[in-house]
Structure 1
Amino acid sequence: MNKDNEKVRVFIWSLFDFANTSYSIVVVTFLYAVYFKQTVLSRQPIGDFYWSIGTSVSMFITALISPILGAIADYSAGKKRFLLVFTLACIISTSLLYFVNKGDVFLGLLLFIIANVGFEAGLVFYDSFLPELTAPKNYGRVSGYGFAMGYLGSLTTLAIVYPFITNNLIKESFPISALVFLIFSLPLFLFLKENKNNIEKKESFLRIGFFRVFNTVTNLKKYKNLTLFLISFFFYIEGVNTVIFFSGNYATTTLNFSLGQLIVFFLIVQSTAILGSLLFGFIADSFGQKKSLISSLIIWIFTILIAFVTSDKNSSVVIRVSNYFNITIEQFGNYSFYFVGLLAGSVMGATQSTSRSLMSKLTPFDKKTEFFGFYSFFGKSSAILGPLVFGYVSFISGDQRLAILTINIFFFIGLFILTYVKDN
């Protein structure tokens, strides 16, 4: 492959990461997540539980369909076609969130579920382009470029919707986010070519999909190392997904962050995520994806513990440190959470991008989309349990600090299993 041509293809591909994070930052992580609890549910504690139901249902649907869709796409070389369908589903549903008002719990959840299924299922086909773009030795950095572009897209989207936020036009930010997604996703559909399979379609795509998935499942014993990685991925990405879904709600509920403070927090997260994605991409290619992942998970565990300790206003540690620096306990809590955002951002994109590059490395090339369907299955099905555990513990205890500790359980289990994965 011509190097200049490869660079162009990688840039066009990474623009989709730039595009789709306009949805994830506005809807999943920040504005709609907060709007749903504060406005739609009038700050009721059960808001966390309802939000966890929405995320879990959408992830459950995605987990069910991803392997089948991936197998069909491998057979028909129809990645772009499927990606377009799910992208449009996400964009249209995100635009319609504008019509969700106070008390519209069912409508708010339904549109969010459709949008999130579109977003998450589309990633199956987007991620599977990676092995076609570059050589295996470059998977880490190319995957890192994609996530760095994604977080750059988040920063750009935040800058675009900032005037709407300051003028309390929160609902208007949802169609704006959808428009950004639409515009910057177009280059992939217009200019990026995929490898074609010359296959006569003698059977229905649905039957082919089920047959290939069944065949892969029954032959998983041939891919023991890949299976071990997917199980590890299931647990540690559980923690990452839960942080993404609940960080905004945690900041507003437990720390009483204003929208202005939330903007600062997410600017910190997105900025450090760009650097982290690029840095860990080079580390992964130079020292190995497994070592890079282990490092990121250790940082995650440390980050969750800091968030737990520093958000307790009655803690002797918090009181002593606040007195030492001559600041109020509230100020110390805010500054500490900004530091938590810095740490989380540095490994958020890194964990996801390194996982994607290791998956590309371990996957048979002729089954790339099908196996990325299973990668999505493990990732999305994991996001069913984590948010539900967080939402349920938060609801029954009335304390999000206890709920945040459950995240580290998943990081510990994932880290332990990862140590047994072979990374050549």
Structure 2
Amino acid sequence: MTEITAQSGAGMDTTPTHIPRGRVLAWSLWDWGSAAFNAVVTTFVFTVYITSSSFGDKDVISAQLGWALAAAGLLIALLAPVTGQRSDVAGRRKFWLGVNTALVVALTAAMFFVEASPSYLLLGLVLVASGNVFFEFAGVNYNAMLAQVSTPRTIGKVSGFGWGMGYLGGIVLLLIVYFGFIHPEVGWFGVTDANGLAVRVSMLISAAWFGLFALPLLLTVPEYRVPPQARRERVGFFGSYVRLGRDIARLWAVSRPTVWFLVASAIFRDGLAGVFTFGGVLAASVFGFSAGEVIIFAIAANVVAGVATISVGALDDRLGAKPVIVTALIGLVISAALIFLLHDGGQIVFWTAGLALCLFVGPAQSASRTFLARLIPPGREGEVFGLYATTGRAVSFLAPTAFAAFVGIFGATYWGILGIMLVLLAGLLALLPVTAKQEQLR
């Protein structure tokens, strides 16, 4: 077995120095499979479907989608750090990753029952919101496992490879659902677009896709073992909140830059989530893309994002995460501003500025994860990445609310672009003062 090697430094006794490449690949295949939810469900297919005229007024439904996702964010904010902490203490990260992945797969499959009628809109919104909750819980444990599949010298590269695999998986899956079901008048197995059947069958394919590619991680990556220095007494569910409060207070006392980074990253990550969530909606509602054209754009966008993310991973290891994040956020703000200001220019504007925007999204996400991973004490990954999810979701109302509010105030969907851009800009400004010595992992 080919292995990735790195030398251990002082104070890094528990850091892995030999990681089999097969384990890295198995871990990254979960990201590849997760494209079923990120790309197909929340960005380019299902949310575009339920915000179409088949379900009512497009502008009204776009705002309702924003409120539904804001409610999901509140649940994640309240529960994510405690669930992450408890998986750390119990040494059951992989187990809970499997449970939450299975729930996302089931909810995605249930989207098959959302027919193209206003009476099914509520079901569609509930399924999307619920899927976001369990997908985020799964992501807490998945991110925490980054330390199990990387070394101090490769963490940026491995993180970028995982994000890039997610984008590339999205390309393949979007090609399958587009040419297999959505584009042809009569798709595979005789599927047509009548009553939204093409999209609904695509949800079944997506569920199977995620479940299949989650298996390598669940079958080959070892379960997390709590290191001796990190073992803690188990407490009840509500006692976990007491412990969490003490841990946050201690984190504030010993590492304020980490706390400030959690806050800053929460803001800009919510802006990034807004790009994914509302990108397809904007393409269809503002720039006149058909359902098929949205998917073609999505394929091109994933190519750009995947290549950029994998390529920038090495720069993360060499230059540090913060320069990567700052550069990416500046690029995102400029690209979003161009889309807003030039929206009357038609589809060519969305193609050019939208693809430029995709160039920066993945690197910002991946580098944000590695910035934090380098600071986490051993045995606390699940808890701190739970805080990472919570701080993100504590302000997760920002992008959906800004999008919904701007659309509601000005009466046109394209104003939502400005709402998302302002959230990204606020995250950039909050990040600039953050300083933290980026030690090697552990």
Is TM more than 0.5 here?
yes
CA deviation vs aligned residue, 1:194-214 (integer Å, no higher than 9, x gap): 331389997555255324312
Runs (4+) of structure 1 moved beyond 6 Å? 198-202
The residue number in structure 1 matching 2:107 is 93
Letter aligned with residue 403 of structure 2: F
Aligned mates of 1:382, 1:138 — CA distance in 2 = 31
Root-mean-square deviation over aligned CA pairs: 1.9
The runs of 5 or more residues in structure 2 that have no matched partner are 5-17, 186-192, 438-442
2:182 counterpart of 1:165: yes
2:386 counterpart of 1:373: yes
The residue number in structure 2 matching 1:316 is none
Alignment counterpart, residue 23 of structure 1, candidates 37, 59, 67: 37
TM-score (norm 2): 0.87
Contact 1:63 1:377 in 2 (8 A): yes
Letter aligned with residue 51 of structure 2: K
The residue number in structure 1 matching 2:224 is 195
TM-score (norm 1): 0.91
Aligned mates of 1:376, 1:27 — CA distance in 2 = 20
Contact 1:72 1:205 in 2 (8 A): no
2:357 counterpart of 1:344: yes
Letter aligned with residue 435 of structure 2: K
CA deviation vs aligned residue, 1:59-83 (integer Å, no higher than 9, x gap): 2111211100111011011111111
Alignment counterpart, residue 64 of structure 1, candidates 54, 75, 78: 78
2:200 counterpart of 1:184: no
Contact 1:148 1:349 in 2 (8 A): yes
Contact 1:252 1:258 in 2 (8 A): yes
Contact 1:268 1:341 in 2 (8 A): no
2:155 counterpart of 1:139: yes
The residue number in structure 1 matching 2:348 is 335
The residue number in structure 1 matching 2:134 is 118
The residue number in structure 1 matching 2:432 is 419
* Count of residue pairs brought into register by the alignment: 405
Q: Give the 5 Å matches for 1:13-412.
A: 13-38=27-52, 41-101=55-115, 102-103=117-118, 104-162=120-178, 163-166=180-183, 167=185, 168=193, 169-197=198-226, 203-207=234-238, 209-219=240-250, 220-313=252-345, 333-412=346-425
- Structure 1 range deviating more: 353-362 or 109-118: 109-118
Aligned mates of 1:50, 1:356 — CA distance in 2 = 30
Q: For residue 170 of structure 1, give the secondary structure of its aligned residue in structure 2.
A: helix
Contact 2:226 2:379 in 1 (8 A): no
Letter aligned with residue 386 of structure 2: G
Contact 1:30 1:248 in 2 (8 A): yes
- Compared with structure 1, are the counterparts of its residues 134 and 341 closer, same or farther at alpha carbon in structure 2 (3 Å cutoff)? same
Percent of pairs identical after alignment? 28
- Compared with structure 1, are the counterparts of its residues 403 and 82 closer, same or farther at alpha carbon in structure 2 (3 Å cutoff)? same
TM-fit CA distance, 1:232: 0.9
Contact 1:54 1:113 in 2 (8 A): yes
Aligned mates of 1:422, 1:366 — CA distance in 2 = 24
- Compared with structure 1, are the counterparts of its residues 114 and 36 closer, same or farther at alpha carbon in structure 2 (3 Å cutoff)? same
Aligned mates of 2:48, 2:354 — CA distance in 1 = 17
Q: Which has a greater percent of helix?
A: 1
Contact 1:233 1:379 in 2 (8 A): yes
TM-fit CA distance, 1:287: 1.1
Letter aligned with residue 193 of structure 1: P
Contact 1:93 1:115 in 2 (8 A): yes
